[in-house]
Amino acid sequence: MLLLLAALWAGPGASCPQATGPPPLDLGTDGPASGRSGAVASAEPQASRIGAEVLRSGGNAVDAAVAVGFALSVTHPSAGNIGGGGFMVLRLPDGSSAALDYRERAPAAAHRDMFLDAAGEPTRASRVGALAAGIPGNVAGLGEAHARWGSLPWAELIGPAIALARDGHAIDAFHAADMERATAYMDQAGFGDSAAHFRRADGAAYAAGDVWRQPDLARTLERIARDGPGVFYSGPLAERMVRGMRGQGGIWTLEDLAAYRPVLRTPVSFRYRDHEVISMPPPSAGGVVLRQILAGAEQLRLDALPWRSAERAHLYVEILRRAYVDRNFWVADPDFVRVPLRRLLDPAYVARRLTDIDPLRATPSSRIEAGRPLAGESEETTHFSVVDASGMAVANTYTLNGGFGAKLVIPGTGVILNNEMDDFTSKVGAPNMFGLVQGERNTIAPGKRMLSSMTPTILTRDGRLRAVLGSPGGPTITTTVAQILMQLVDHDRTLLEAVREPRIHHQWMPDVVLAEEALDAGVVAGLEARGHSVRLRPRFGHANCVEVDPGTGTYRAVADHARDGGGAAAF
């Protein structure tokens, strides 16, 4: 099978074998990629194609997700990774669902005030360098998913990623520019060896079309393929990583790595109008915030208002600022603090939170506090979506947090470190790198998972799969998913239209509406007239999603703002 996959995978632009067997791949160069047997949407075309080839060769959606996850670690280094963590939401062929948490954890030597200077102010160490990295969950998470639900042998799924790392792949213009920017940061931070990983042997930046070989990463992936995910967590590779980290001022120990475990959690599942939504529970706030947004939208009847209207945008923003203050105050790692989940997810609680909305004026965030759900009750990440012929669906979002994470590569391994520690509350009341002002419950503790916004989500209707959704974008992830979902359900838009639509976002603090530059000027003016402060930004998010046409059952994979043909593949 390894040979078969390697033969099928003949590089960009290769034609697909079409003699017998499954239909050829549609790569969706001008719109969605369509097919009835399988679909993949990811941030990068080669990874999507590898996933689709796994499906064509008889693998299921989890097999394909594992192959895509490892392929992105080679071809999309700013976010695709083995040195980070993430979340996977699944729908199984029998209609049941699952949520796999493979979020990073704080090392045992981490402590609450580790990112405060002598004056008690947050330092940059939560974002850059070895202290910024949580104990990675990706390899264990993909391994756990494969052990539970995969069908093809593990090593064969990593084979295409190994080939890309060992033999090299041609870099596109986007990634060449991305890597050049990252190496400038690495030089500034004094991480010359890490910068060298992303430069040609002669020290020059890679240009579009250059072939990038990653022999260190290839060797690491070969070990993982041969000996299983456990080699990342104990033995020579783990020892090398711990040595590398400690050499850079890090605090990881072999015990930290050996103790890492992914956790199977109960998804946040709820009805939205006549659909069922399945999303990620804490330690991601994604499902909770999505539930609060959609419950608010239902109560205020947003579906009855035109999608591109200031009236609708105003009410939507008012729901958001109330949902995000709850997120920031109440939600954290449920293994460490009690999250009042039942109440936070209760539409009656959300309704009470919305009673002070003024239909004509923005409520300043400074006047909005977190609710009291206990009363009465004891910018780089990447998302990919996969669907197979049986209707098995995987929504997977994983991340290094910032682009290229902590900007450090562990010497000799090709492992790029995450800077996920910045997702904790370094100081109560101080903004993190996404401007999120978070609370006490999300402060750092040994072994704790940092709060996330990642929102891998699956939508079904009448027991049938309707869509697989998700995006990067820090706190804007959940609003991006909510907006796509509401366009599908409330406004009968196609997935392509919904993904392409300009987005808006509010997260309580800072008290500003982030709006994409392409948003209708009339909506922006209408928000400002109602007292909102609007900040225009370039495109945010990168929603790589799949929908199932409710009429025909055809799968349509959509990669967000297509680059180089987009990362969608279907057959």
Q: And the tokens for 285?
A: 């706030």
Provide DSSP, 515-526.
EETTS-HHHHHH
What crossing angle do the helices spanning 215-227 and 61-75 adopt, rounded to 10°? 160
Select the residue interacting with ligand DON from 77, 136, 473, 565 (CB under 6 A).
Answer: 473
Q: Total residues at the site for ligand DON (CB under 6 A)?
A: 14
- Interaction residues for ligand DON, span 226-285 (CB under 6 A): none
Segment interacting with ligand DON, rule: CB under 6 A, options 20-28, 160-168, 243-251, 470-478: 470-478
Q: Which of 53, 256, 298, 423 is the binder for ligand DON (CB under 6 A)?
A: 423
Per-residue DSSP letter, 146: H
Task: Based on the residue annotation, tell me whether 480 is a catalytic residue of this protein.
Answer: no
What is the token pair recorded at 332?
């954290």
> Which is the catalytic residue, given 75, 183, 220, 381?
381
CA–CA distance, 527 with 362 (Å, rounded to integer)? 8
Binding residue for ligand DON, selected from 452, 479, 483, 487, defined by CB under 6 A: 452
Closer to ligand DON by CB, 38 or 456: give it. Answer: 456
Give the start-end residues of each E strand in 19-82.
Answer: 33-35, 39-41
CA pseudo-torsion sign 243, 249, 254, 258: negative
- With CB under 6 A as the contact rule, the residue among 248, 396, 426, 453 that binds ligand DON is 453
Minimum Å gap between C-beta 399 and ligand DON is 5
- Applying CB under 6 A, which part among 41-49, 204-212, 344-352, 451-459 lies near ligand DON? 451-459
- Least distance (Å) from ligand DON to the CB of residue 407? 14
454 lies in the site for ligand DON, by CB under 6 A: yes
Q: Evaluate the CA torsion angle 324, 280, 267, 264 in order and state its sign.
A: negative
> Which of 126, 220, 399, 442 is the binder for ligand DON (CB under 6 A)?
399
At residue 360, what is the residue type?
A: L
Binding segment for ligand DON (CB under 6 A), chosen from 11-19, 303-311, 321-329, 471-479, is 471-479
Helix 61-75 × helix 138-149 angle, to 10°? 160
Which residue from 474, 526, 566, 567 is in contact with ligand DON, where contact means CB under 6 A? Answer: 474
Q: Which residues on adjacent β-strands are paired with residue 431?
A: 437
**Shortest separation between residue 104's beta carbon and ligand DON, angstroms:** 9
Smallest separation (angstroms) from ligand DON to the CB of 338 = 21
Residue-wise DSSP of 451-482: PB----EEEEETTEEEEEE---STTHHHHHHH
| Three-point CA angle 361, 478, 74, nearest 5° | 145
Residue 549 interacts with ligand DON (CB under 6 A): yes or no: no
- Smaller CB distance to ligand DON: residue 298 or 380? 380
Of 180-188, 306-314, 346-354, 469-477: span binding ligand DON (CB under 6 A)? 469-477
Question: Is 75 one of the binding residues for ligand DON (CB under 6 A)?
Answer: no
CA distance 457 to 455: 6
Nearer to ligand DON, 87 or 154 (CB): 87
355-387 burial by CB neighbour count: b if 16+ within 10 A, else e? eebeeeebbebeebebbebeeeeebbbbbbbbb
Taking CB under 6 A as the binding criterion, the range among 38-46, 193-201, 338-346, 447-455 that sits at the site for ligand DON is: 447-455
Which window, 264-272, 341-349, 473-481, 559-567, contacts ligand DON (CB under 6 A)?
473-481
Q: Residue 258 belongs to what H/E stretch? A: helix 254-259
Asked if 401 is part of the footprint of ligand DON (rule: CB under 6 A), the reply reads: yes
Least separation in angstroms between residue 159's CB and ligand DON is 29
| CB of 539 vs ligand DON, minimal distance in Å | 11
Q: Is-contact 5 153, C-beta < 8 A?
A: no
CB 400 → ligand DON: shortest distance, Å? Answer: 8
The pattern of x and - marking residues 350 through 389 that bind ligand DON according to CB under 6 A reads -----------------------------xxx--------
Round to whole Å and give the CA distance between 175 and 359: 44
d(CA 549, CA 385): 16
Closest separation between CB of residue 78 and ligand DON, Å? 9
- Per DSSP, 502 falls in state -
Which among 150, 136, 155, 135 has a CA at the least distance from the CA of 228? 155
In sequence order, the 6+-apart residues with CB closer than 8 A to the CB of 365 are 321, 325, 508, 509, 511
Question: What are the residues whose beta carbons fall under 8 Å from the beta carbon of 556, sequence distance 6 or more?
Answer: 32, 33, 34, 39, 494, 495, 496, 546, 547, 548, 549, 570
Least separation, in Å, of the C-beta of 433 and ligand DON?
Answer: 9
Complex with ligand DON: residue 465 or 477, whichever CB lies closer: 477
Name 209's Cβ contacts closer than 8 Å, sequence gap at least 6.
170, 171
Q: Report which residue type is found at 494.
A: T
Closest of 154, 131, 134 to residue 142, by C-alpha: 154
Of residues 132 and 344, the one with the C-beta less far from ligand DON: 132
Burial zone of 488 (CB within 10 Å; 0-12 exposed, 13-18 middle, 19+ buried): buried
Exactly one of 129, 472, 565, 567 binds ligand DON (CB under 6 A); which one? 472
CB of 476 to ligand DON, least distance (A): 8
Residues 41 and 51: their CA atoms lie apart, in Å, by: 9
User: Does residue 419 bind ligand DON (CB under 6 A)?
Assistant: no
User: Which part of the chain contacts ligand DON (CB under 6 A), choosing from 167-175, 274-282, 448-456, 482-490?
Assistant: 448-456
What string marks each residue from 476 to 495 as x (binds ligand DON by CB under 6 A) or -?
A: -x------------------
Which residues are catalytically annotated? Answer: 381
| Residues binding ligand DON (CB under 6 A) | 379-381, 399, 401, 420, 423, 452-454, 472-474, 477
